[in-house]
Structures are given as C-alpha cells and as structure tokens.
Amino acid sequence: HISSLSRYKSQPTKTRDGKSITLLANAELPEDITTISAAGAQGIGLYRTEFLYMNRLTPPEEEEQLSAYRDVVEGMNNQPVTIRTFDLGADKTVDGGRHLNQTVVTNPALGLRAIRLCLNQPNMFRTQLRAILRASAYGKIKIMFPMISTMHELLQARHLLEQSKHELDKEHIEYDHHIEIGAMIEIPASAVCAEMFARHVDFLSIGTNDLIQYTLAIDRIDDHVNYLYDPLHPAVLRLIHMTLSAGKKHNVDVSMCGEMAGDPRYTRLLLAMGLENFSMHPNALLEVKQVINETDLSQLPANTMEMMDAVDPLEADMLLEQINGPDH
C-alpha cells in the first residue's frame, strides 16, 4: 500500500479534469522537515512554534528563534513556509511561559491563549515577530496569527508587525518587505465574519481542530465527549463554506490546516466545496494526493449542499459515501 502510494510523490497534485491543488505539510518540530521533504509537500502550511516554549523555564530569545525559523525555511529549499505565531495556552502547555501571566482558570480554551496571550505580552510577541521577519530574508515566509476573533486583534497584531519592520529598517536589518499575513479561522464568529477579515489579510487558514471544538462546544482533549466531535456536522460545514466563499469574493487564498484537511475521507467533499489548499501531517500527504489525482471534479455528485442540511449523522455518512464513490 505504502509503496503504491510512493508513485504519487513525484506527480503534480491535480484532479483528473486538470484543477491544480496545493498540498502543504504541518510541522510541529524542527526535525519534521525531513519527513516533509520526503513526502513531497509543496511547502509548509502550518509551522507550529510552541515547541520553542516547551520543556524549559526561560523564554526563547530573538537569536534562538531566528536560527530555528531560518533552519526551516532553508531546509525547505525556497518552498513557502507559513509560520504561525505562538499559540500558547489551553491545550498547548506553556512550561517556558510560566512567567507569562498565566493563571489557573476554569475554561482555558476560552481564556487568554494564542493571539490573546501574545497581545497581552507585547514584548514576547515583538521578539517573535522580529525573529520571523529576519528569517524572511532567507526564504519565502508567511506569517499567520492564530485564534483571531475580532478586527481589533488583527489590526493590533498588524500594527506590532509594522513597528517591528520599522525597527529593523532603522537597524538596517534585512527582511521581506512583502511578507504575506494571514489569519486563522478557528472560532465560529470569525468564520461568520470571514469577509471582514478577508479584506485585511493576504490569506485565511481554517483550523478545524479548534473550529469544531468551539462550534460544537466539545473540549478537543476530553475523551468523554469526543464521540460528538464531528467534522460533518452541518454547522461546521456551513462555517467552512462561509470562509471559502469570503475568500473567493475577496480573492484571498483560503487553506485548511486542521486534521480534517488530512483525512482522505473528507478530501472529495472539501474539493467539491472549493478548497484548493490543504495542509496536513506529512504522513497523510500521499493518500490525500491519491484521492485528489483520482477525482474528476465535474463527476462529483452535487451533494455538498445537501450535506449542510444532513442533521442526522447517518444521512451525512450516506451522502459522504456517495461523494466518495465505491472505492473510498
């Protein structure tokens, strides 16, 4: 099975009827680059940076971060790398962030995490922004902000980025002046208002792990409720659809970097919904590519919209089977 998949490695990712699709990988640790290159990804769609704060007591300085980001972008041989700013808090432990004003709260997933924590700790955030900007002199880097829920957050984050750029200009330090900026859509409110964000970013990326958690009110790490964790819930599909439509309308790329993007059972559904950029665990790449390369978009049954009305999970499964056909 694995060896039959390996023939897809060198093939372009393209549907039977000729639509090119971009397949990117998610990275969590610097050593993931090896697997990612081996799997033939076209770049990194989500570079999680929380590892820099793990298993240590002191925060990572600018030079240390610069060298980590530089290694990854150089390791990817000029393919684009989307670096996500610190998504600390809630399910992501913050060993090295004990000094980060973190208190014990009842609902950490609804608390000071991700972009909220960064905006609350501007010095920590600025250090990261400077390091990312500096690394952008060595390859194609994009910046992505996690858990954006309001325009104010996005504008504040952009403002801090602009400040960092000015500092670097004054210090005569090089960086990519056209670095692209994106927001993650992980909160139902943000998906509903995706158009508003689309006007102020270069790209959007749907984080289905959190989007599903928040839409269905299911703690993503609580085993007692994971039977309710359902990417096919019509509310989840509608929110994805809204985000994709906002991107189309404003000519802004939309990608998906949550687990849903790497599950071959959902590939055809997502293609039918208009998703063109998938980012996933490198181990899932070839299987998803196989599905894409064996799909004729024009032959897909027009069930996508029906899926959004399928309140009964059995009906949703049945519709998915129709979309996937007998082989999948």
Given the complex with ligand PEP, which of 96 and 258 has the nearer CB atom? 258
Q: In the window 161-200, what residues touch Mg ion (CB under 5 A)? A: 186
Measured torsion, CA atoms of residues 108, 110, 112, 114, in degrees rounded to the nearest 10: 100
With beta carbons less than 8 A apart as the criterion, state whether 41 and 33 touch: no
The answer to the question of whether 209 is labelled as a binding residue is yes
With beta carbons less than 8 A apart as the criterion, state whether 206 and 212 touch: no
Distant-in-sequence, close-in-space partners of 316: CB < 8 Å, separation ≥ 6: 232, 234, 307, 310
Question: Is position 23 an interface residue for ligand PEP (rule: CB under 6 A)?
Answer: no
The single residue among 208, 215, 290, 295 that binds ligand PEP, judged by CB under 6 A, is: 208
Given the complex with Mg ion, which of 45 and 207 has the nearer CB atom? 207
Which of the ranges 69-77, 136-144, 161-169, 204-212 carries the binding residues for ligand PEP, by CB under 6 A?
Answer: 204-212
For residues 152 and 149, what is the distance between their CA atoms, to the nearest angstrom?
Answer: 9
Task: Decide: helix, strand or coil at residue 142.
Answer: strand
The single residue among 209, 245, 293, 322 that binds ligand PEP, judged by CB under 6 A, is: 209
Cα–Cα nearest to 231, from 182, 265, 203: 265
For residues 9 and 23, what is the distance between their CA atoms, to the nearest angstrom?
Answer: 11
257 is catalytic: yes
The single residue among 32, 50, 210, 287 that binds Mg ion, judged by CB under 5 A, is: 210
Question: Is position 89 an interface residue for Mg ion (rule: CB under 5 A)?
Answer: no
Q: Binders of Mg ion: how many residues, by CB under 5 A? A: 3
The answer to the question of whether 98 is labelled as a binding residue is no
What sign for the dihedral angle of Cα 88, 94, 99, 104?
positive
- Binding partner of residue 129 among ligand PEP, Mg ion, none, CB cut-off 5 to 8 Å per kind: none
Which of the ranges 24-32, 56-64, 206-214, 313-321 carries the binding residues for Mg ion, by CB under 5 A?
Answer: 206-214
Question: Is position 59 an interface residue for ligand PEP (rule: CB under 6 A)?
Answer: no
Instruction: Kindly name the residue from 257, 288, 307, 319 that is annotated as catalytic.
Output: 257
Cα–Cα nearest to 188, from 209, 212, 153: 212
Question: Is position 259 an interface residue for Mg ion (rule: CB under 5 A)?
Answer: no
* H-state helical runs in the chain: 2-6, 32-39, 62-75, 114-120, 122-135, 151-170, 188-192, 194-198, 208-216, 234-250, 264-273, 285-293, 304-307, 313-324
Question: Is position 100 an interface residue for ligand PEP (rule: CB under 6 A)?
Answer: no
Given the complex with ligand PEP, which of 46 and 201 has the nearer CB atom? 46
The answer to the question of whether 220 is labelled as a binding residue is yes
For residue 318, the minimal CB distance to ligand PEP (Å) is 26
Q: In the window 144-203, what residues touch ligand PEP (CB under 6 A)? A: 186
Residues that bind ligand PEP (CB under 6 A): 46, 48, 87, 186, 207-210, 257-258
Annotated binding site for Mg(2+): 186, 210
Active site residues: 257
